[in-house]
Structure 1
Amino acid sequence: MLLYRIAYKAFSRKLFAPGFSGRWNSDGKKVIYTAESIPLAFLESMLRRQGSGFNRDFNTMIIDAPDTLLTTIVDVHGLPDGWRNTHDYRICQRIGDDWYESYASPILKVPSAVLPDAFNYVLNTSHPDFSSIKLLRVTPLIPDERIEDLLKK
């Protein structure tokens, strides 16, 4: 399965997890957020950046996760109200932290809070099977300049 990540150029040459908290993990859990498509990865990145950093500062990472790897799936219909909250990630962090600590699988498939019918994939870098996930290539991020104009506003 191919996965995609938009990352600062300085951090795009290897699979790196700084351990910062995010929607599906609390601080100290070393995970990598990826998306099912380049457009979704870009949209997630744009919203997270909210005007900081411009497109020339980023690359697209193309990652291969073997289809044989176990994937834990979070069903959007089973999530409680408030899971998409942009200011409080505790609901999702509990789910992600339980998955991370259980070592149930190296991949957690989650609905995108931006577009719940699309999916992001969280990679547990501490899982023993993580070593089979490989960075295939890195390409420059070159979206339409009008999108960058939106970020500058």
Structure 2
Amino acid sequence: MPLFYRIVQESWADSAFDGEGARLYGGRWNSPGVPAVYLAESRALAALEILVHAPREALRLNWIVIELDVPDSLIDKVPSSKLPENWRLQPSSQQAQVFGTRWLRDFRNLALLLPSVVIPEEKSLLLNPKDPAMRDLKPGKPKPFSFDPRLAASP
């Protein structure tokens, strides 16, 4: 069973897997209005995802990391050749959002394994919090996570 990681501010621990933030604001692979949860295949990749999105001063906040085992049978894999051509655009392309939103709305499976934009050779996991299989997953106990203070320093 692959292990994935989610880093969130400590105040969001209880709602880390409800998909509400992504529902409100959208994300690379989901349009606003569609809940989704983003995880990474390593703590380091999860931390990099925070670094590219959060202002440096936010790194001084209280963060936690939560591990989640996801059975292979609940993970869809898509070859890079099947992804929208411009999936790496900044900000996220509409085509990437449409691709992920369609997958989420079709309830094809609980999770979709995708390349990370930050490091395309590594994987992110798009989780559908509305999928019935979500009830069977047991996230690990939140553990403190801190960023090296040098990352929060002004350049």
**Normalized against structure 2, the TM-score is what?**
0.87
Judging by fraction of residues, say which structure has more strand: 1
1:17-96 alignment to 2 at 5 Å?
17-18=19-20, 19-20=23-24, 21-67=26-72, 69-96=73-100
C-alpha distance in 2, partners of 1:3/1:55? 23
Opposite residue 143 of structure 1, the aligned amino acid is F
Q: CA deviation at 1:3?
A: 1.0
Deviates more, 1:132-141 or 1:11-20: 11-20
Q: Is the 8 A contact 2:57 2:152 kept in 1?
A: no
CA RMSD of aligned residues (A): 1.7
C-alpha distance in 1, partners of 2:9/2:145? 10
Judging by fraction of residues, say which structure has more helix: 2
Unaligned runs of 5+ in 1: none
C-alpha distance in 2, partners of 1:88/1:30? 16
Whether 1:99 and 2:103 are equivalent positions in the alignment is yes
Opposite residue 47 of structure 1, the aligned amino acid is V
Q: Is the 8 A contact 1:63 1:137 kept in 2?
A: no
Query: How many residue pairs align between the two structures?
Result: 150
Q: Which residue of 1 aligns with 2:145?
A: 141
Taking only the aligned residue pairs, the percentage that are identical comes to: 28
SS of the equivalent of 1:60 reads strand
TM-superposition CA deviations, 1:31-85 (whole Å, max 9, x none): 1100000000000111011435124331111122234x42122322333432101
Deviates more, 1:113-122 or 1:133-142: 133-142
**Normalized against structure 1, the TM-score is what?**
0.88
Q: Which residue of 1 aligns with 2:13?
A: 12
Q: Which residue of 2 aligns with 1:3?
A: 4
Opposite residue 9 of structure 2, the aligned amino acid is Y
